[in-house]
Amino acid sequence: MMAFVRQVLVIMAKDLRAELRTKEAINASLSFALVVLLLFSFAFDPSEETTREISGGLLWIVFAFAGTLLLNRSFARELNNDCLDALISAPISGAALFLGKALANYVLVLAVELIALPLFGVFYNVRWTSQFWQLMMVIALATWGMTVTGTMFSALTVNIRLREVMLPILNFPILIPALLGAMQLTSALVAGKPIAADNDAWLKMLIGFDVMYTAVSVFLVETVLVGG
Amino acid sequence: MRDKILYIIGAVALILLARDMYLITGFPAEANQGAIFKIIFFHVPMAITALTCAMVAFVASILFLITKNFQYDALAVAVTEVGLAFLAGNLITGSIWGRVAWGIWWAWDARLTSALVCWLLYAGYLMLRNAIEEPTQRATFAAVFSIFAFIDVPIVIFSIKWWRTQHPQPVFWGGGSFPPDWSAVFGWQMLAILLVGVVFTAVRLRQEQFQREIDSLRRMAHAL
C-alpha cells in the first residue's frame, strides 16, 4: 500500500515537474481561460445582477474549456521518445500511473481555476467570496470529476487521429451531470446563498459521480494502457 | 438457417406493425390532444428499444473486455448504432408531438434534455470508433467508453430531473391512463418495434462480421 502511494506521488511529481519546466499547457490554458472570460462580456450585459445569475454556467464553461487543454497534454506529452511505452512497461501498476497523472492534472486544473476565479470577480465586478469555503469544496469536487474522466479519455485518445478534438467530444457529454450540479451550486454560492436542503442533492450527486468514476477508471485503466 | 430466422422475425414485425397501424388509425382521437396523441404508439416503444440497446451494448462491452471475443465487439457496435437510430426516432416523434401540443419544436424539459444527452454520449462512442484504426485497440477503447457512457445514463436522467423540478414544469401527459384496448395495442406495438430493432441489429452485425473478414483477407493479401 505504501509502495503504491509512493508510486502515485512519483508519477505526479514527474508530471508536475515536466509541466512547470516548460509551462506550455498551463500557459495555453490560462490565456484561453482569459479569452473566454473576455468573450463572455460581449455575450451579455455584464451588470452585477445578470452576471451573478449566470456565474455558475459562465465559470464552469471557462473551467471545462481551459481544463480540456491541460488534459489533452497529459498523455500526449509522453509520446515523444516513446515515453508512454516506457511508463507502461515500468514496474508500477496502471492504476498508480493513472492516479499519479490524474492528481498532477488535478493540481494544474485547480491552479488555472483559482487564478481565473478572482479574475472573473474583478472583470465582472462580482463579490464571490461570501461563501468562500463552500465554493472551494464545490470546485474541488467537480474538478476532480472532470479530471478523472478527462485523464482516462486522455489515455483513450492519445494514439488516435484528431486527438485534440476527440477529448472534449467524449468528455463533455459524460460530464454533463457533474457540470450541471457544479453550475447550480456555484451560482447559488456566488449569490451568497449557502448550500441548504434544497440543493444539497447536487453535492451528493457530485460526490457520487467522483467516487463512481474514480473506481471505474482505476479498475479499467490497465485494460486501456495495455490495449493501446 | 440464420437468414430464414431473420426473415421470419422481420415478417412478423411487419405484420404486427401493419395490424397496429390499422387499429391505431381506427381509435378515436384523444379528448384533450386530438389525433397527435397517437404518436405515443411510436414514441414510447422507440425510447424503450433504445434503452434496451444501451443495456445490451453495456453487457456486450463487458463481455468483450473479459473474453476478447470480437463477436461481442461487433454486437456492441451494431446495437449502439441501432439504438442511436431509435433514440433519434424518439426525439423526432417527440419534437413533432411538441410542435402540435406545446406549439414549439423543443422545450428544455427533463425527458427531452436527457434523451438528447444520451444521444450525444453514444454518438461519441461511434466517433471514437471511427477515429481508431487498429481493431483490437478500437474494440477495447470503445468497450471502455461504452461502460463509462452506460454508467452515466442514470446519473444524467436523475440530475436533469432534479434540475428541471426546480423550475416550472411544462404541461406534460398530466396523469391519465389508457383504455384497455389501447393498452393491448400498445403492448403489440412495443413488441413490433423491438423486433424491428432485433432485425436491424442482426443485419448490422452481419455487416460487421463481413467487414472483419474482408479486413483479414486484405491483411493476408498484403502479407503475401
Number of domains into which chain B is organized: 1
Number of domains into which chain A is organized: 1
Domain that holds residue B135: 2-169+178-223
Q: Can you tell me the mean pLDDT for B65-92?
A: 94
On the question of pLDDT at A113 being above 70, the answer is yes
For the whole prediction, is pTM greater than 0.90? no
Closest CA to B64 of B154, B153, B145, B152: B145
* Contact residues, chain A, for B124 at CB < 8 Å: 169-170, 173
Written as nine digits, the cell of B174 is 398530466
On the question of pLDDT at B89 being above 80, the answer is yes
Q: Can you tell me the mean pLDDT for A20-31?
A: 91
Handedness of CA B26, B29, B34, B40 (dihedral sign): negative
Instruction: Assess A196–B contact: CB distance below 8 Å, yes or no.
Output: no
Instruction: Please write the tens of the pLDDT for every residue from B3-13.
Output: 888 889 999 99
pLDDT band at B165 (very low <50, low <70, confident <90, very high): low
DSSP string, chain A: -HHHHHHHHHHHHHHHHHHHHH-HHHHHHHHHHHHHHHHHHHHS---HHHHHHHHHHHHHHHHHHHHHHHHHHHHHTTTGGGHHHHHHHSSS-HHHHHHHHHHHHHHHHHHHHHHHHHHHHHHTT---GGGHHHHHHHHHHHHHHHHHHHHHHHHHHTTSTTHHHHHHHHHHHHHHHHHHHHHHHHHHHHTTPPP-TTTHHHHHHHHHHHHHHHHHHHHHHHHHHHH-
Domain that holds residue A29: 2-227
Instruction: Please write the tens of the pLDDT for every residue from A135-153.
Output: 999 999 999 999 999 999 9
Q: Is the CB of A227 less than 8 angstroms away from the CB of B137?
A: yes
On the question of pLDDT at B175 being above 70, the answer is no
* Whole-angstrom distance, CA of residue A109 vs CA of residue A30: 10
What is residue B48's three-state secondary structure?
A: helix
Instruction: Please write the tens of the pLDDT for every residue from A149-172.
Output: 999 999 999 888 788 889 999 999
Q: Can you tell me the mean pLDDT for A194-217?
A: 90
Instruction: Please write the tens of the pLDDT for every residue from B114-123.
Output: 889 999 999 9
Instruction: Assess A88–B contact: CB distance below 8 Å, yes or no.
Output: no
Q: What angle do CA B66, B68, B71 make, to 5 degrees?
A: 115
* Whole-angstrom distance, CA of residue B123 vs CA of residue B83: 10
Instruction: Please write the tens of the pLDDT for every residue from B33-53.
Output: 777 778 888 888 899 999 999
**Interface residues on B facing A, Cβ-Cβ cutoff 8 A:** 65, 117, 120-121, 124, 127-128, 131-133, 136-137, 140-141, 144-145, 147-149, 151-152, 155-156, 158-160, 162-163, 166
On the question of pLDDT at B169 being above 70, the answer is no
